[in-house]
Every structure is written in structure tokens, then in C-alpha cells.
Amino acid sequence: MSGSVSQADVEQLVLEAVEGLFTAEKLAEVGGSLTALDVSSLYFMKILDAVERRFRVVIEPTVDPSRFETVRGIHEFILEQQLV
């Protein structure tokens, strides 16, 4: 994906990956926290897979998983990886 990735882009991708598990409004209510919404490990894997595919980044197993607990954290990770 070329150009800058916005946090809204990441939020939309998360919503697509969780297949209706929660709404954008519910995600906003919890400040973008996926852990506050009790997202299962299966959905976390779907989200991370979608992030890698859409934004063409690689998530190494050594990356601290807490980085992906929020939409903001995912967004920051993507931006960092695109600078490399």
C-alpha cells in the first residue's frame, strides 16, 4: 500500500478482520482497545494477518504482542515498519 496509512485505515481493517464481532462505535467506546473487547486469539491472528497483507509489513515473532492490543498500537507499528 502506498502513501501514508491513517489510524482510520487501521480501524477499518480491524473491523473487517473481526467479521462483525463489534462495531466501530463499540471500538471507539473502549478507546480502540482490542483487549477491552475480549478479542480472542483467533481474531488477533486474523487481524495481524490482514495487517501484514494490506500494509505489506512483516510481524516477526519477537515483536512484543502488547503492541497490537490497540488500534493505535497497530497503527504505530505499521508506520515504524514502513520507515525501515
- Number of structural domains found in the chain: 1
Residue 1's pLDDT is what?
A: 45
Q: Is residue 1 part of a domain?
A: no
Q: Is residue 2 part of a domain?
A: no
Provide the domain limits for residue 62.
7-83
Q: What is the CATH number of the domain that holds 74?
A: 1.10.1200
pLDDT top residue among 23 and 3:
23
H-type alpha helices, 1-84: 7-17, 24-29, 41-55, 71-83
Q: Is residue 43 part of a domain?
A: yes
Q: Is residue 73 part of a domain?
A: yes
Q: Is residue 29 part of a domain?
A: yes
Q: Is residue 19 part of a domain?
A: yes
- Report pTM: 0.91
Q: Is residue 30 part of a domain?
A: yes
**Contact at 8 Å (CB) between 70 and 34?**
yes
Whether the per-residue pLDDT at 62 is higher than 60: the answer is yes
